[in-house]
Homo-oligomer: A and B are copies of this chain.
Amino acid sequence: MYSFSDLQAIVEKSFGQLHLPNEPQNLYEPISYTISLGGKRVRPVLCLMSANLFSDIIDKAVKPALGLEIFHNFTLIHDDIMDKAEVRRGKPTVYRKWNPNVAILSGDAACILAYKCIAQADAAVLPEVLRVFSATALEVCDGQQLDMEYERLPFVTEEDYLRMIELKTSVLLAGAAKIGALIGGASMVEADRMYNFGRYLGLAFQLQDDLLDTYGDPKTFGKAIGGDILANKKTFLMINALKLVGKESLAKLHQLMKSADVAPEDKVDQVKQVFDEVGVRKIAEDKISHYFDLALAELGKVGVRDERKEVLQHFAQKLMGRNR
């Protein structure tokens, strides 16, 4: 069985061997640039682990795994234009380093390259792999659209929020796990279990990201703490706070979200005070554990020997920062 770091190394090596065209430079250089920004390669690694769960030979999953990462990069390139994000992984985003037109067109090329890699799956599983991939890809677009719409709404329900993060983040993990399983020779039933494993894990992961944005350790989180609060994001924490607080604190929360003249640190502190009043941290931690347990339960149902599942269990724990 391959470990997380084995598979990360395989992904990096394979990206090194994936020769993108040199010309037109402004079309392909932004794609190489985005891929080179790195990251944990969660999606391709999950795809390969899922293939490895069912098969010792994973070569045929490598190109499709790269396709999943390239697709993820495509969504980042376009989302950054839409969200006016200037920096990603400490570097200027494509639309800032080049310009929006370059970001639109190189993003388009990245989407096509992603399909080109996915289409390298064995002919025997190709129709099903493509069906899963296209459905997933459309759902990721649905999620980004809902995310943009929710920003302009005064209130979002917890149910709607969870559905949005499921679409925007977790279906791609789910799709990666299912595609890997299919290429590894899993039955449809087993592949669907892996889909659910990825889906629940993705939900736990995104909620954990919400939680750490407010309650994380600045040394290990990698981003400034309180970013979501300062941006008035209607995250799982805020949605629950708005639902549970009394009249007085609700007014205070609305005031803080509207006010432009509270110092950023004060705003974060005061919003956190309201969060603490109603215990949203505990609510979020419980929800994260709920999804994490569901993910492991799905993995538990897969009909392969338990030892084969250990790598995926460690992966899930590592993703949730539970291995420190």
Nearest chain-B residue to A23 (Cβ)?
Answer: B142
The reply on A32 being an interface residue by CB < 8 A is: no
Docked Cα-Cα span, A113 to B133, in Å, equals: 11
Stretch at the interface among A124-132, A257-265, A278-286, A287-295: A124-132
This chain: copies in complex: 2
The A interface is mostly helix, strand or loop, or mixed, namely: helix
Tell whether A115 is near chain B: CB-to-CB under 8 Å: yes
Nearest-neighbor residue (CB-CB) of A124 within chain B: B123
Task: Flag A78-111 by CB within 8 Å of B: 1 or 0 each.
Answer: 1001100000000000000000110011011101
A127 to chain B, nearest CB (A): 5
Residue A137 CB within 8 A of the other chain = yes
Q: With CB as the reference atom, state the residue of chain B lying closest to A26.
A: B145
Q: Which residues of B contact A141 (CB under 8 A)?
A: 27, 105, 108-109, 112
Is A214 part of the contact surface with B, judged by Cβ < 8 Å? no
Give CA–CA (A236, B112) in the complex, Å.
Answer: 30
Is residue A154 contacting chain B, with contact meaning CB distance below 8 A? no
CB A249 to nearest CB in B, in angstroms, measures 33
Which of B82, B112, B142, B146 is close to A104, meaning CB atoms less than 8 Å apart?
B82
Set of chain B residues within 8 Å of A123, measured between Cβ atoms:
123, 126-127
Q: Please give me the residue from chain B that is nearest to A146 by CB atom.
A: B24
Measured CB to CB, the closest approach of chain B to A126, in angstroms, equals 6
Chain B residues whose C-beta falls within 8 Å of the C-beta of A100 in the assembled complex: 100
Is A138 located at the chain interface by the 8 A CB criterion?
A: yes
Asked whether B108 lies within 8 Å of A134 as measured between CB atoms, the reply is no
B residues near A306, Cβ cutoff 8 Å: none
Known A-B contacts A27-B141, A134-B112, A149-B24; A105 and B78 likewise in contact (beta carbons under 8 Å): yes
Using Cβ atoms and an 8 Å threshold, which residues of chain B touch A78? 104-105, 108
Report B-chain residues with C-beta under 8 Å of the C-beta of A126.
Answer: 123, 126-127
19 A-B contacts, Cβ less than 8 Å apart? A23-B142, A27-B142, A27-B145, A74-B108, A78-B105, A81-B101, A82-B105, A100-B100, A105-B148, A107-B108, A111-B112, A113-B134, A115-B130, A116-B130, A116-B134, A119-B127, A123-B123, A123-B127, A126-B126
- In the complex, besides A81-B104, A111-B112, A113-B138, 8 extra interface pairs with C-beta distance below 8 angstroms are A27-B145, A74-B108, A78-B104, A78-B108, A112-B134, A112-B138, A113-B134, A115-B130
- 4 residue pairs, one from A and one from B, having the closest CB atoms: A116-B134, A24-B145, A119-B130, A27-B145
